[in-house]
């Protein structure tokens, strides 16, 4: 009986982990997953928002998370300069102006007026994304 | 040229008939994220919604969960192939997901099912009919294999 309970629990846990993998990324890398909370935090800390819009099914998004955003050099700059935010486009829980047909897309958003300072479309490797971060 | 188009279109069809099944395994498929992408301007986007319903009907019939945000897309991809002046459509049904390599346990993105149908739309007034027939054909193959693999 214990074995059955364990297998059932394992199966539920696995499903949850796979169903929410961008949320796992957010938790691991200390990203916000709600726009309103990220904005509130950004205003309090006087930092712009780095908003990464992904989808649950997009391979380029997973690669971007793993190869660029998780890299130490990239992550250090992000945490220093921005309030990082990652949202699944399919959940439609962000202001419409950030919607994009192409995914992933990264926005650098001014915390004072919510204007998009820069939009980076598509996948970027670690070095290319470092250049983007240094430029901003 | 007509012969060339016929030959070009016959090859995938023949292989499809010979191997209605595919080398992929469809066992224990718990959830998918149904998706329809039209990657050609020759096909109106209005077909996305009704085709998505077709995919959802199939997954529901098979007991595969398709609500929520599964990272495993079951996608219908529609594109066109340039063959002379003919309108040749390529319709693919594919399943993709992150898997772990057996030897190094690296997580990589992989296609875990793929079936293709290529056909010429000879009469543009029958485009919708041809397109839906192709999608239904691919979904039927998927369904047959899913049932067989899970027996």
ipTM above 0.95, yes or no: no
How many domains does chain B contain in total? Answer: 1
Confidence of residue B18 (pLDDT cuts 50, 70, 90): low
CB contact under 8 A, B35 and A57: yes
> How confident is residue B82, by pLDDT bands cut at 50, 70 and 90?
confident
Q: Are A62 and A22 spatial neighbours (Cβ–Cβ below 8 Å)?
A: no
Lowest mean pLDDT across A19-28, A67-76, A110-119: A19-28
Smallest Cα distance from B109 to chain A, Å:
7
Residues of A in contact with B70 (CB under 8 A): 18-19, 56-57
- Give B65-126 as a DSSP string: B-SS--SSEEEEEEEEEEETTEEEEEEEEEEEEEEE-TTT--EEEEEEEEEEEEEE-SSGGG
Range of the domain at B99: 2-149
Q: How many domains does chain A have?
A: 1
Is residue B24 pLDDT above 70, yes or no?
Answer: yes
Neighbours of A124 (CB within 10 A): 21
Tokens of B29: 């498929």
- Domain assignment of residue A119, yes or no: yes
Please name which of A50, A46, A120 lies closest in space to residue A86, comparing C-alpha atoms: A50
pLDDT attached to residue B40: 95
pLDDT for A116 beyond 80: yes
| H helix or E strand, kind and range, residue A26 | helix A21-29
Nearest CA in chain A to B74: A57
Q: Which residue of A has its CA nearest to B106?
A: A66
Residue in B71, B75, B109 closest to A18 by CB? B71
Give domain status of residue A16, yes or no: no
* Cβ neighbours of B107 in A, within 8 Å: 66
pLDDT for B65 equals 96
Alpha carbon A29 to chain centroid distance?
9
In this prediction, residue B11 carries a pLDDT of: 54
Check which CATH number belongs to the domain holding A114 and give it: 3.40.30.10
What count of other Cβ atoms lies within 10 Å of the Cβ of residue B120?
15
Look up the domain containing A107 and give its range: 21-135
Confirm whether A68 is domain-assigned: yes
Q: How confident is the model at residue B99 (pLDDT cuts 50, 70, 90)?
A: very high
pLDDT digits (tens, 9 = 90+) for A23-63: 899 999 999 999 999 999 999 999 999 999 999 999 999 99
Cβ pairs bridging A and B (under 8 Å): 36
**Residue A7 counted as domain residue:** no
Task: Tell me which of B8 and B73 has the higher pLDDT.
Answer: B73
Radius of gyration of chain A (CA): 16
């Amino acid at each position: 009986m214990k074995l059955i309970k364990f297998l059932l629990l394992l199966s539920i846990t696995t499903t949850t982990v796979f169903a929410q993998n961008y949320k796992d990324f957010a938790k691991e890398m200390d990203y916000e997953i709600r726009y309103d909370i990220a904005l509130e935090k950004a205003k309090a800390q006087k930092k712009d928002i780095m908003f990464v819009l992904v989808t649950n099914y997009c391979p380029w998004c997973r690669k971007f998370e793993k190869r660029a955003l998780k890299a130490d050099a990239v992550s250090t700059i992000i945490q220093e300069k921005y309030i990082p935010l990652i949202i699944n486009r399919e959940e439609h829980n962000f202001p419409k102006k950030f919607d994009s047909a192409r995914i992933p897309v990264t926005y650098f958003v001014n915390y004072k007026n919510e204007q998009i300072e820069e939009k980076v479309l598509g996948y970027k490797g670690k070095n290319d994304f470092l250049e983007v971060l240094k430029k901003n | 040229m007509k012969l060339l188009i016929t030959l070009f279109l016959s090859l995938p069809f023949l292989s499809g008939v010979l191997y209605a099944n595919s080398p992929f395994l469809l066992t224990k498929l718990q959830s998918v994220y149904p998706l329809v992408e039209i990657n050609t301007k020759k096909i109106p986007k209005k077909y996305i919604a009704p085709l998505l319903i077709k995919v959802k009907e199939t997954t529901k019939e098979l007991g595969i969960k398709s609500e929520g945000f599964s990272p495993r897309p079951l996608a219908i991809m529609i594109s066109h192939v340039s063959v002379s002046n003919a309108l040749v459509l390529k319709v693919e049904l594919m399943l993709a997901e992150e898997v772990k390599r057996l030897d190094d346990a690296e997580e990589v993105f992989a296609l875990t099912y793929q079936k293709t149908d290529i056909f010429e739309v000879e009469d543009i007034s029958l485009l919708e009919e041809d397109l839906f027939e192709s999608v239904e054909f691919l979904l039927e193959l998927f369904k047959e294999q899913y049932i067989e693999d899970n027996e």
